[in-house]
Amino acid sequence: MDRTLHIVSLTIPWPPNYGGAIDIFYKIKALYQLGINIHLHCFQYDRESANELEQYCTSVSYYQRDKSFYHVFSRLPYIVKTRISKKLINKLNKDRNPILVEGLHCCGLIGRVDPRRLFVRTHNIEHEYYFGLKNASKSLSKQIFYAFEGLKLKLYEKQLSKVHQLLTISSNDLVHFSSRNEKSILVPAFHPFNSVSSITGKGTYILIHGNMGVEENIVSTIYLVREVLSKLRLPVVISGKAPDKQILKLAQEFAFIDLIPDPSLDKMNEIIQGAQLILLHTFQNTGIKLKLLYSLYNGRHCLANDIMVNNTGLECGCVMANSPIEWIEKIKELYNKSFTIEDKLKRINILKKDFSNETNSKNLENYIFKKIH
């Protein structure tokens, strides 16, 4: 059987340094290791072409994302409208191979290629994500954009009933998307780890990490610093991609904070491994946060709120806190507590159950190639 697959990516998944890119890149790598011929199609707008992708793909094609302002006024969501490419559609219609569509962002293909070929990987409940961005933003213009985009995305989800199958990233998302397409299934997030590399003993600081240019993470970081960490004055490291000016200001205001912006992948792993305690907070219950997996595979104690871990299968890997008082109490409890070999073995058992790239890629192979043929 010919096992050739088109993957249409919302962005260039290299470097894999934020949630969506991580899931896409390591999915590509895992499918390549199964011997699948991958034709990768990437929308390009904020990243350079990446030769690194060619070692896993039979071909890599790039399509300029049309980010013209007037697309804001389209009936289609902006994230969809700006990723409709005639060149891509023509290329996909030259054969009959299955197409893995990464994100609702790339679903402008619906109605333009045979829907029986389309498998859509949902990375988020996008309209909930955008409504969350609206609530987090302090800019009126951004609030208006996020509100309208969220409404358009909610309406656009009806298109998902037309595709062959939805591949959801979390149990919560599976419940939601099953009402849009009855053939929805759960395929947990792909990631870079083959084993747990958490170091036993004690670390020397509290860590907050993630994409620090995203409003969701900005709001959570400000909340943790002002409502929790300012009361403790323990050493804190904030690290991640493209820190916003609000994060820069926060680091200048509090002497106990060390800001490490834009670390390399190896440096980020080193930072995570050196922490005594990782704080994982969110106000948005969408998808799965890849930084949660990064923390559990590489870090010591992980302290999270309910929204971060509910229905991820990773609840037992974290200590839970929700109110500022609970966060303060748990930080005091964990800050001087050694991470033991027993803690590490427990972590290994939790993660191998649902988050094996090898198992999940084989399941994905079966879903796509057995059903399409």
| Interval 193-212: pLDDT, tens | 989 999 999 999 999 999 99
- Residues 359 and 355: their CA atoms lie apart, in Å, by 8
pLDDT digits (tens, 9 = 90+) for 62-79: 999 999 999 999 999 999
Residues of the chain above pLDDT 90, percent: 86
Could you report the per-residue pLDDT of 139-188, keeping only the tens digit for each?
Answer: 999 999 999 999 999 999 999 999 999 999 988 899 999 999 999 999 99
Q: CA 76 to CA 276: how far, in whole Å?
A: 46
State which fold the 4-191+356-372 domain adopts. Rossmann fold (3.40.50)
DSSP codes, 152-179: HHHHHGGGGGGSSEEEESSHHHHHHHHT
The pLDDT value given to residue 18: 81
HEC string for 88-115:
HHHHHCCCCCCEEEECHHHHHHECCECH
Please tell me whether residue 208 adopts helix, strand or coil conformation. strand
Q: CATH assignment of 206-353?
A: 3.40.50.2000
Asked which of 33-37, 100-104, 258-262, 264-268 is least confident by mean pLDDT, the reply is: 264-268
Whole-angstrom distance, CA of residue 319 vs CA of residue 335 = 12
Q: Domain limits of the chain?
A: 4-191+356-372, 206-353
Same fold, 4-191+356-372 and 206-353: yes
Alpha helices in the chain (DSSP H): 19-33, 78-81, 86-92, 126-136, 140-156, 171-178, 215-227, 245-253, 265-274, 290-298, 306-309, 324-334, 341-354, 357-365, 371-372
- Alpha-carbon distance of 296 to 341, in angstroms, equals 14
For the cut 90, the answer to whether the pLDDT of residue 215 exceeds it is no
Q: Which residue from 26, 24, 25, 34 is spatially nearest to 4, judged by alpha carbons? A: 34
Residue 333 CA to residue 322 CA, distance in Å, equals 15
> Would you give the distance in Å from CA 282 to the centre of its chain?
13
- Output the pTM of the full model: 0.88
State the pLDDT at residue 11.
97
Q: Please give the Cα distance from 110 to 95 (Å, whole number).
A: 16
Residue 195 identity (one-letter amino acid) = S
Q: What is the pLDDT of residue 93?
A: 97
The whole-number pLDDT of residue 289 equals 80
Q: Which residue do the tokens 């834009």 mark?
A: 262
Give the strand order in the sheet containing 277-280: 257-261, 236-240, 206-209, 277-280, 301-304, 319-320
pLDDT at 371 over 70: no
Q: Which of 279, 331, 282 is nearest to 306 (CA)?
A: 282
Q: What is the pLDDT of residues 336-366, one digit of tens each?
A: 999 999 999 999 999 988 899 999 999 999 9
- Residue-wise burial string across 91-111, b where 16 or more C-beta atoms lie within 10 A, e elsewhere: bbeeeebbbbbbbbbbbbbbe
Residue 353 has a pLDDT of 84
Q: Cβ atoms within 10 A of the Cβ of 208, count?
A: 24
Amino acid, single-letter form, for residue 240: G
**Of the candidate ranges 32-46, 94-108, 134-148, the one whose mean pLDDT is the lowest:** 134-148
Which of left, alpha, beta for 277 (phi over 0: left; psi -120 to 50: alpha)? beta
pLDDT exceeds cutoff 50 at 373: no
Other C-beta atoms closer than 10 Å to the C-beta of 180 total 16
pLDDT above 80 (res 317):
yes
Please give the pLDDT value at position 288: 74
Task: Answer whether the bond into residue 15 is a cis peptide, omega within 30°.
Answer: yes
Alpha-carbon distance 60 to 55, whole Å?
A: 10
Q: Are 89 and 117 in contact (CB under 8 A)?
A: no
Residue labelled with tokens 């949660």: 292
Compute the distance between CA of residue 132 and CA of residue 105 in angstroms, rounded to an integer.
17
Q: What is the pLDDT of residue 313?
A: 83
For the chain, give the mean pLDDT. Answer: 94
Task: State the Cα torsion 166-169-174-177 to the nearest 10°.
Answer: -50
Confidence check: pLDDT of 214 > 90: no
* pLDDT > 80? residue 372: no
Work out the pLDDT band at 216, boundaries 50, 70, 90.
confident
> Would the pLDDT of 110 be above 90?
yes
- Measured at the CA of 193, the angle between CA 247 and CA 62, to 5 degrees, comes to 70
